[in-house]
Amino acid sequence: MNGWPVYQDIQQLKERGLNKSQVERQLGINWKTVDYYWEMTAEEFAERQTKAKKKRRNLEPYKENILDWLHKYPDLSGAQVHDWLKEHYGDKYQGPERTLRRYISDLR
């Protein structure tokens, strides 16, 4: 998931003098997203993106199993995949469920 276009759009509209509510309506996005990116600098955004990529890379050793499970069971939820990884890999897998959900979303 790449938030760069959303971040840029929010910052551009902010620079034009729009307030958070106006930006939310203009872009048709949730106010929480606007609030999250509102005060964030480009450097902070880049740092967060880098950290997110590192977390997703930690899931690469499990990619083939995840893809296999998703192929066999297309309606499988991220929580279910998370549970299966813990069952199959025990202490070797320690990733947070939210990161896994995003990873699965990217795979789909």
Q: What is the mean pLDDT of each run of 10 residues along the chain (108 residues)?
A: 80 97 96 96 91 79 94 93 92 85 86
Sort residue 74 into left (φ over 0), alpha (ψ -120 to 50) or beta: alpha
How many degrees, rounded to 5, is the angle at CA 88 between CA 86 and CA 90? 50
Whole-structure pTM value: 0.56
Which of 6, 3, 1 has its CA nearest to residue 27?
6
The residue count of the chain comes to 108
Query: Domain residues of the chain, as ranges?
Result: 4-52, 58-107
Please give the Cα distance from 93 to 33 (Å, whole number): 30
Taking each helix axis from N to C end, the angle separating 20-27 and 4-15, rounded to the nearest 10 degrees, works out to: 130
Please give the Cα distance from 38 to 57 (Å, whole number): 28
Q: Residue 3: how many CB atoms within 10 A of its CB?
A: 16
